[in-house]
Amino acid sequence: MENRPRVGVVVFVLRGKSVLLGQRRSSIGDSTYALPGGHLEFGESFEECAVRELKEETGLDIEKIEFLTVTNSVFLENPRPSHYVVIFLRAALADPLQEPQNLEPDKCHGWDWYDWNNLPQPLFWPLEKMVQSGFNPFPID
């Protein structure tokens, strides 16, 4: 297969001052903490992809989905290099009491809420880069 950039859609699910992160089980960024999300499928909007990936990976229902930013990242660490354009969205829980389930345990060690001011280490490097640059996914109040 020809190697071309692919499109990812990932979501900051915001709950209070916390965000949802999971420790990856993947050739890309193995054991680092990353946002839920995945590949954009043919014909999908970013919002549709976000809703689907959240449901598949965590069982959570999200709403109030908003665009935040986009990254362009080349990953050299896996069996062969990959290149992703990644759309970063934020969202709220449809039911604030709903808790995440680890529905793809082969891809993730588990999901949890982490205070934005006390994020776990190591973060998946694209996320680490954003945090280092001062990026903040929360609305300004």
Contacting residue, 18, 38, 44, 73, with Mg ion by CB under 5 A: 38
Give the interface size with ligand 8DG as a residue count (CB under 6 A). Answer: 18
CA atoms within 13 A on the CB side of 104: 17
Q: For residue 7, which of 70, 67, 98 has the smallest C-alpha distance?
A: 70
Q: Which does 50 bind (CB under 5 to 8 A by kind): Mg ion, ligand 8DG, none?
A: none
Q: What are the E-state strand segments in the chain?
A: 6-15, 18-24, 33-34, 37-39, 62-75, 82-93, 108-115
Residue list 65-104, contact with ligand 8DG (CB under 6 A): 71, 73, 84, 86
Which stretch, 60-68, 110-118, 121-129, 132-140, contacts ligand 8DG (CB under 6 A)? 121-129
